[in-house]
Every structure is written in structure tokens, then in C-alpha cells.
Amino acid sequence: MTKRIAILGSTGSIGKNALRVIDGLNSSLAARRSPPERNRYEVVALTAHSNVELLAQQARKYKPKFVCITNPDYFTPLKERLKTSDNRLQTTDDRRQNIKVLAGPESLIQIAELKEVDIVLSAIVGSAGLQAVLAAAKAGKRLAIANKEPLVIAGELLMKTVAENNAEILPIDSEHSAVFQALKAGDSSQVSRIILTTSGGPFRKLSAAELESVTLEQALAHPIWDMGPKITIDSATMMNKALEIIEAHWLFDVPTEKIEVLVHPESIIHSLVEFVDGSCIAQMSRPDMCLPIQYALTYPERLPGISKPLNLEEVGRLSFEKPNLKNFRALTLAYSIAKTAGTAPAVFNAANEQAVELFLQGKIRFVQILELVERCLDKHDVIQQPDMKQLLNADRWARKEVLLAN
């Protein structure tokens, strides 16, 4: 059966890899099966924020029924690039096909709810993906989620919406995909610990004094993963792992006391689950996002795809160490934020998004990212059991607060 996919954020690092994964799956299926099964993974919708050039290129190749540009300023440029004389999409093989071009952030919700879509792959960065992710859950879709921020901001609401609407949520984040796979080895009530691994980022070995003067260029040079700028900076501050602790808490319904972080610089073991009998199940593969993306699409099946097998002889040695909680305070903060709950995680996330933006613009130093987040959290009056409006207000407030504080 064909699986119809909408990729939210198709021009980003995850989005581009998702398209490569889909190509790989379709060609391995085409090689194995009879023609009617050929297009088992069909791209029905693609969205991007501003990269019209790449979005138009992707639309020509994949011929989706819908494309959406969330920044409305780029609507006309996108239409121009897609238009032919009869206002139809010009595709690479010169067939013409109707394509609906949408613009604005609200159209993400429309895409997430489309009856033509079975799987919504959310690869948007940050809280901008929140409403669409919730809409996909409400519409009972399979949600293949790379976009961890919505789980941090509104984890309880999102998981409740998934359950109430018979939707499915499948993690793409490599650690969470690893945990999801390892959990198949036992009952979730028998889990004693979830151990999230981290490469430690580019600044693992620096002293607190050395961290004071790191540059943007150094922070963007991740030793293992090639990712979008925001998550790359989050990996350098370890905020990424902090967000992942909260993400795991909601995805797997495990208290944060049972979630630990382990530094594993080779990034071969993507995470581990320890059961009450002491058995520890790890998931291993090359550090390549294509595998967790593919598993979220093919689950419960496993299919041959583009990911290369692991060669442990080549890797040689796996090492582990404790994270440096003094230098990377985000980790400790994650546990108290999860405990406080209410609007605190939304503020934690939004303050970080805004501070990272300032750092990327060269307006603050690296160490100021966490200082601004902490200052913002100190000033916040937490609202318990917030509704969506209160969460969005908290997100807006935190961004303003960070801008004012700077």
C-alpha cells in the first residue's frame, strides 16, 4: 500500500535527508516488487519557510499535490518559480500537474490535516512547528517527529491528543528512536533507566574559562553530526540533551528521575534502556539520521534503505564518560524544569530559541545563551496546567524578555 507523506520543513537538514530516504525506499522496493507497488512512499506535500529555490526544485522532482511557504513574503517568488503559461507546475519530465501553492504559518495546519496524507513528518525547527504537530495528532495521523520543541512545550497535551485521536507518534531524534527500539525488548513497566547518549558536542573537553571565549564558528563545527544551525548550537550548550530529557519523559511516559545522560563521543550507541533485571538494551548504528527517519516511516516493518551497515572493527573502541554538569548547566536545569512543569518548559525552550538566535546573529557570546535562559526562568510566574493559549503567551513572553535583557 502506498504511504502518503507530508514533509514539514523539507528544505532543512532532516527534510532533505527524509527525501533521500524516500528515494532509497522506493528504489529498493521497485527492485523487489511488481510495478503497482513501485511508489510505496509518495510525497504529497512539502513545506519550507523561505528557501523558495530549493522548495521549487523539490516540487519539480517529487510533484507533490501541495507546497507551502510559511513566510508569506515568498509566496509570489515561489509561484513564479513554479508557474508555466497555463499556471500548472512544470515538472522535470515535462508532464504537467496541478499543484496547490499555500502560504503563511496557518497553512501548515491545513497540510497536517489533509485527508490525502497518512504520515506527517515534522522537520520544522523550534516552536513554529507546534500547531501543525498538534493538528496532525488531532487528525489521527502517523506523526514522524524530529521537531522536539513541541514535545518540550506541550508534551502532556500532545501525548493526550495522540491517544485520544488514535494517532501515532514515532520519534526521529536518534536517541529517542533508539529508546523506542530498545523498549521492544521488555514491558515499559519494567524499565529501570533510560540512558540517553550524547557525543558531548564540540566543547566537551574545554574548561569553564575556555568556554568564555568560544566563537560562533567553533560552536557550529559539530564533531559528528551535520545539522541545522539551531540544533548545532544546542548541542554545543548541551541544551539539545536537556530538551531531549523532557522529550523522552513525554514520549515514553517515564519520570525524569529514571532518565540519565551519558557522554559517548563515538556516537555509535544512540541510547540504552535498562530493565529491572539489570539487562541493558542498546541500539547501535552509524551516526546517520537517515536510519531513524526511515524507521519512523516503515515501522513496524524494516526495509533495506540507504543507511550503510555498522562496522564495529572499523570503529574499534567505544568510550563513555559522565557529562560535565558544571560547564553544561542546561542538563541540571532540565530536571528542575520538568518537575516544575506548567509553562516552565515552554519558557525554557522559547528563551533558548531567542538566545540562540542572538548568538547566531553575533549579538551575544556563547556563555550568555544559558545566562539569558536562566534569567528568564527566574522572572517567570509559572502557570500550572496551561491551555494552548497560555503556552503560546509564555513562549512570546520569554522571547521578549530575552530581547529586553540583552
Residues that bind Mg ion (CB under 5 A): 173, 175
Burial of 240 (0-12, 13-18, 19+ CB in 10 A): buried
Min. distance of Cβ 168 from ligand NAD in angstroms?
Answer: 18
Q: Which of 4, 13, 200, 356 binds ligand NAD (CB under 6 A)?
A: 13
Residue 227 interacts with ligand NAD (CB under 6 A): yes or no: yes
Rounded to 5°, angle at Cα 154 from 350 and 194? 100
Residue corresponding to grid cell 502557570? 383
Give the residue, chosen from 18, 128, 158, 290, that forms a contact with ligand NAD under the rule CB under 6 A: 128
Cell of 245: 530529557
Partner in contact with 237, chosen from Mg ion, ligand NAD, none, beta carbon below 5 to 8 Å by kind: none
* Residue 231 contact among ligand NAD, Mg ion, none, beta carbon within 5 to 8 Å by kind: ligand NAD
Q: Assess 77 for contact with ligand NAD (CB under 6 A).
A: no
Beta strands in 199-341 (DSSP E): 259-263, 269-275, 280-284
* Residue, CB closest to ligand NAD: 12
Instruction: Please tell me whether residue 14 binds ligand NAD under the rule CB under 6 A.
Output: yes
Measure Cα distances from 271 to 144, 237, 262, 268, 303 in Å: 19, 20, 9, 9, 22
Q: Is 9 in the site for ligand NAD (CB under 6 A)?
A: yes
HEC letters along 125-155:
CCHHHHHHHHHHHHCCCEEEECCCHHHHHHH
Q: Which of these ranges, 5-13, 193-201, 253-261, 390-398, lies near ligand NAD under the rule CB under 6 A?
A: 5-13
Q: Which is nearer to ligand NAD, 223 or 228 (CB)?
A: 228
Work out which of 58, 70, 131, 285 binds ligand NAD, going by CB under 6 A.
70
Separation of CA 372 from chain center: 23
124 in contact with ligand NAD (CB under 6 A): yes
Query: Among residue numbers 311 through 350, which ones bind ligand NAD (CB under 6 A)?
Result: none
Give the residue with the Cβ less far from ligand NAD, 178 or 191. 178
Angle at 236 between CA 323 and CA 316, to 5 degrees: 60
Q: How many residues bind ligand NAD (CB under 6 A)?
A: 27
Which residue minimizes CB distance to Mg ion?
173
| Kind of pairing between the strands at 96-97 and 41-48 | unpaired
Interacting span for ligand NAD (CB under 6 A) from 222-230, 312-320, 352-360, 377-385 = 222-230
Q: With CA atoms as reference, report the closest residue to 25 among 9, 5, 45.
A: 5
The CA distance from 298 to 277, in Å, is 31
Q: Is 147 in the site for ligand NAD (CB under 6 A)?
A: yes
125 binds ligand NAD (CB under 6 A): yes
- How near is the Cβ of 106 to Mg ion at its closest, in Å? 29
90 vs 349, beta carbon nearer ligand NAD: 349
Q: How many angstroms separate the CA atoms of 402 and 350, rounded?
A: 9
CA 78 to chain centre: 25
Footprint of ligand NAD (CB under 6 A): 9-15, 48-49, 51, 70, 105, 123-125, 128, 146-149, 173, 225, 227-228, 230-231, 289
